[in-house]
Amino acid sequence: MTEPVVVSWGAGVNSTALLIGMHERGERPDLVLMADTGGEKPETLAFVLSFQQWLESVGFPSIIIVQNAFRPGFRHRSLEDECHNNRTLPSLAFGFKGCSVKWKRQPMDRYVRQWSAAQVAWEAGLRVRRLIGIDAGEPHRGKIPDDARFAYHFPLIEWDWGRRQCLDAIDRAGLCQPPKSACFFCPAMRPGEILQLNRTHPDLVVRAIAMEESAAGGLSNVKGLGRAWSWQSVIDADSAQWSLFPEVIEQACLCFDGDDL
């Protein structure tokens, strides 16, 4: 009996390249998991369908999408819904990563613990191998410690694949490059990304600003989703005013979903 292999797929460049690299090496995952916060952009959802077809074409398992909202007794339908219900913002807006843990890592952990292949492996004294898409350009992020049930592996680092190699692998597979995978209201978004979102999906920007307005009464040191500034201020500003936004906006999301986001 071998240890079952689980790939945490984030619908972005790195975790997509990881699965392509496995196929090129004759390796096969036993489970492909994606955590959906309920806030993915339409372009990401379209890529999920496209990549699902590629997985099926090479004989890989289909993507299993897990959501925190499926938990019995949980009253929030999505991360966006939770923020509205609690009149707050995603924890990243306050410098924390609780939204990632709650809406991405924990739903995947719960699914794996209930997965029959994992339970059989644990009964046999084996561990589940969990593959994470962190590339060779960020080896410091590939340090999740193993425990009694899980062994964490970072194939892109082992293969010495940086961003360029990941992009090339996706091209070799004949796939379009995936869009940046992140919630449409992600506090890590830069003003330019917000303005682009406003051009392509103004309805999503309206919803993000509504989240800010709902939380406004409870904010003190944070002005909005951008921490030092609000999305409304970005939308109101013209191109000559972009210099008002400081370098603090270049904060990476670093959500735990098997990707660099």
Mean pLDDT computed over 1-12? 95
Q: Which helix (H) or strand (E) holds 17?
A: helix 13-24
122 and 165 share one domain: yes
149 and 42 share one domain: yes
**What pLDDT sits at residue 259?**
53
**What pLDDT sits at residue 99?**
86
Mean pLDDT computed over 25-32? 98
129 and 198 share one domain: no
154 and 199 share one domain: no
* Residue 237 in this model has a pLDDT that exceeds 90: no
Q: For residue 142, tell me if it sits in a domain.
A: yes
156 and 209 share one domain: no
Q: What is the mean pLDDT of the chain?
A: 90
- Model pLDDT for residues 141-198, shown as the tens digit of each residue: 888 899 999 999 999 999 999 999 999 999 999 999 999 889 999 999 999 999 999 9
**What pLDDT sits at residue 248?**
38
Would you place residue 242 in the very low, low, confident or very high pLDDT band (cuts 50, 70, 90)? low
- Model pLDDT for residues 210-227, shown as the tens digit of each residue: 999 999 988 888 999 999
215 and 86 share one domain: no
**What pLDDT sits at residue 239?**
45
Q: For residue 65, tell me if it sits in a domain.
A: yes
Determine what percent of the chain is predicted with pLDDT higher than 70.
Answer: 89
- Model pLDDT for residues 104-130, shown as the tens digit of each residue: 999 999 999 999 999 999 999 999 999
Say which CATH number the domain at 120 has.
3.40.50.620
The pTM for the full model equals 0.87
Number of other CB atoms surrounding residue 222 within 10 Å: 21
For the chain, what is the domain count?
2
208 and 113 share one domain: no
* Containing structural domain, residue 59: 5-172
Per DSSP, the three-state class of 124 is: coil
Q: For residue 182, tell me if it sits in a domain.
A: no
Of 142, 172, 202, which residue constitutes the final position of a domain? 172
151 and 215 share one domain: no
Are 117 and 4 spatial neighbours (Cβ–Cβ below 8 Å)?
Answer: yes
Mean pLDDT computed over 6-27? 97
Rounded CA-CA distance 235/194 in Å is 8
95 and 15 share one domain: yes
Q: What are phi and psi of 33, to 5 degrees?
A: -110, 140
Length of the chain: 261
Q: For residue 140, tell me if it sits in a domain.
A: yes
133 and 236 share one domain: no
25 and 132 share one domain: yes
Q: For residue 260, tell me if it sits in a domain.
A: no
165 and 209 share one domain: no
Q: For residue 75, tell me if it sits in a domain.
A: yes
* Residue 241 in this model has a pLDDT that exceeds 80: no
Would you place residue 251 in the very low, low, confident or very high pLDDT band (cuts 50, 70, 90)? very low
